Amino acid sequence: MKIDIGNQCVHCRQDTSFGSGRFVNRYPAEIFDEENGITLDGYCCDVCEQEYINSLDKEEKARYLEEEWLTACLNEPLIKFINKLALVLERLSI
């Protein structure tokens, strides 16, 4: 079951609507609530995003930020193509 929580952050449940102080840098997000078996649909605020990034070790952080950059700059089919191309080149030792 999916529940739309509107402008609330899916992590901290703070309001992210315009004028809340958490509107800038928010992004649409979903999170699965295992305890209740539901998917919450809302936003992720920048405060929660930064807390998550800061909790990662150096390698995880680099991988996460690279993936975020690719997702922001490229569309998903192109990312899949690039990943497949990288695997092919790796196998060919190019």
Model pLDDT for residues 20-39, shown as the tens digit of each residue:
999 988 999 999 988 989 99
Q: How many domains does the chain have?
A: 2
> Is there a single domain that holds both residue 6 and residue 17?
yes
Sheet containing 38-44, strands listed edge to edge, beginning at the edge strand earlier in sequence: 2-9, 38-44, 27-33
> Is there a single domain that holds both residue 78 and residue 49?
no
Q: Which domain holds residue 64?
A: 56-94
- Exposed, middle or buried, 39 (CB in 10 Å: 0-12/13-18/19+)? middle
pTM score: 0.64
Q: What is the pLDDT along the chain (94 residues), one digit of tens a residue?
A: 899 999 999 999 999 999 999 998 899 999 998 898 999 999 999 999 999 988 999 899 888 888 876 666 666 666 677 777 777 787 776 5
- Predicted local distance difference test score (pLDDT) of residue 80: 72
For the record, the structure tokens of 89 come out as 């080149």
> Is there a single domain that holds both residue 48 and residue 66?
no
